[in-house]
Amino acid sequence: MQRDEIRQLVSSEFQRSLAETGVQLTALPANQLQALVSAMADSIFAAIAAVEDLDAGVPAYAPRAINPLGEDTMTQDVPEQQLWRGRPYLTIGTVYEITSQRIRVMKGVFGNHIDEVELVRVRDTTVKQHMGERMLDVGDITILSNDPSHPQLVLNNVKNPIEVRELIRNAVNKEKERRGLRYREDM
């Protein structure tokens, strides 16, 4: 089945479901309602792709090449690799991604909002777990950085937070070494 056929199926099932319930959507113009239904179909494509990746045995942390766009030549000489990708526990619409060069927080189901912190700007990380979170092996990772737009970035309800924090720490050290940055502490 092609994407257009699936979009048409989602649209017809949406309209059928509305007709069965007797709900009339008159607050939205028809073209905006159709755009909303198309956005739902696109989110279904994304969910199906994620399930197919899991069914195919592709782990969430499998390295994947990422094409850097608009970056300086220092970051273009080495392709960016995805080191880890995950979602907050019991959450839809938020994805965390750690690459060999940055940390991304992508939010949104219909829209998209992306926050990024370059690994070379990371100063420190902490993990916080309550008793219930320890039982579920989830926790919050706080990233302190020199980034003026995101001096503190929190990854909430991350599975295996201690392992992810160590992965961030190692990735930060490798990226700083690759760029020739040295550790210096101000006294």
Q: Which tokens hold the place of 51? A: 């399930």
Strands (E), 46-121: 65-66, 80-86, 94-99, 102-107, 113-118
The residue with greater pLDDT, 80 or 6, is 80
CATH of 65-178, one of 2.30.29.30, 2.40.340.10, 3.40.228.10, 3.40.1390.10: 2.30.29.30
The residue with greater pLDDT, 110 or 55, is 110
Q: Alpha carbon of 116 to those of 11, 15, 101: distances in Å?
A: 34, 38, 10
- Residue 44: phi and psi, rounded to 5, are -65, -40
Q: How far apart are CA 11 and CA 17, in angstroms?
A: 10
Check pLDDT > 80 for residue 83.
yes
What are 154-186's pLDDT values in tens digits?
Answer: 999 999 999 999 999 999 999 999 888 876 666
Phi-psi region of 137 (alpha: psi -120 to 50; beta: other; left: phi over 0): left
Sequence ranges of the domains in the chain: 3-55, 65-178
